[in-house]
A = this chain, B = another copy of it.
Amino acid sequence: MPDRLDRYAYLGPPGTFSEAAARTLVPAPALPASLLPCPTIQAALAAVRDGSASHAVVPIESSVEGAVTVTLDELATGGELFIGAEILLPIAFALLARPGVTLAGVHRVGGHPQAEAQCRNWLTAHLPDASWQPVASNAAAAQQVAAGDLDAALAGAFAAGQYGLAVLAGDVHDRASAVTRFVVVTRPGPLPAPTGADRTSLAAFLAADHPGALMEILTEFAVRGVNLTRIESRPTGDALGRYWFCIDCEGHLDDARVGEVLMGLRRVCADVRFLGSYPRGDGGKTQVRPGTSDTEFAASAAWLARLRYGRI
């Protein structure tokens, strides 16, 4: 079943930014059979776990709204999955309506809650009297517009064609250059080979709540010259004041310094879950501080071995 090997689950219906991200991975002839729209992020990830999809393409972070916490929580505490790639997708919102509708005719606007957050100023300026209806996805809002349940939807302009709608206004987002980072998730298996411009993601669960725990974790990275690119605290769910950390750092599991950081975290944390090593979508090269290259790690290990065993 070759198609199952290359089926991408995403937060649907068709027309979402998630679909736009997934489409960057699929050659045109394989569309749309290779895409599997799912009602929620959880469902997209479950589709990978149960084998109905080979990959899930899910948002993990927005430059405007921050972490997509359901993705973080699922990756860290749900059935084990690996991140194998990332996609940085520029986010541009349009206001979609049925052909012929004008701004004056828009009384009810819908979209994903993040859409409202990213277009708030525009809405206030141009549709001050319209009511806002949160919907599970922007594309679902477009569907409701097509069905006549809403007057307009905030969504990517690419969704207009799919639902027979027109772009009533383009680029209605408040901040140019908004970007959402999607990750491509698979079942655990071989990692992508190191490229010299990789990112590693992990979840670190604190052993016990003591004041210096976060500092301790950061020091494990710093002492081996591994730069963090993102850190998110998330509640454990047990009580206020109990957290775990979702961390992205430069480098690859196969880098000696990253391996030593992971072992260090494993010893000082209650649990560490490795979430994947994969090429960075922003092309940033890994910075290697003097003394932390694989060659230097190998040389120091050889020296230690000579000290320990060479004198016998």
**Interface of A toward B, CB cutoff 8 Å:** 61-66, 69-70, 88, 113, 117, 132, 134-136, 175, 177-179, 181, 188-191, 207, 211-212, 214-215, 218-220, 222-224, 227-235, 237-243, 253-254, 259-260, 262-264, 266-268, 274, 282, 287, 290-292, 296-297, 299-301, 303-304, 307-308, 311-312
Contacts and interface: CB of A to CB of B under 8 A. Distances in A.
A282 B223 CA distance: 31
A140 to B, nearest CB: 11
B267 A292 contact: yes
A235 B66 contact: yes
Contact of A219 (B178, B223, B241): B223
A268 B291 CA distance: 5
Contacts of A214: 218, 228, 231
Nearest to A287: B211
B231 A311 contact: no
Contacts of A177: 238-239
A64 B235 contact: yes
A303 B253 contact: no
Given A240-B88, A304-B262, A231 B228 contact: no
Given A66-B69, A267-B291, A233 B235 contact: no
Given A179-B240, A235-B66, A308-B254, A212 B222 contact: yes
Nearest to A113: B113
A222 B264 CA distance: 12
Interface class of chain A by DSSP: mixed
B235 A62 contact: yes
B253 A308 contact: yes
Residue from A178, A189, A224, A304 with most neighbouring chain B CB atoms (10 Å) = A304
Contact of A211 (B211, B224, B228, B260): B228
Contact of A240 (B61, B134, B266): B61
Contact of A264 (B117, B223, B290, B312): B223
Contacts of A243: 230
Contacts of A219: 215, 219, 222-223
A85 B237 CA distance: 23
Contact of A267 (B230, B282, B297): B297
Shortest Cβ-Cβ A-B pairs, 7 listed:
A267-B291, A263-B300, A211-B227, A266-B300, A268-B291, A223-B223, A63-B240
Contacts of A267: 291-292, 296-297, 299-300
Given A230-B241, A267-B300, A190 B312 contact: yes
A233 B245 CA distance: 11
Contact of A303 (B61, B222, B263, B291): B263
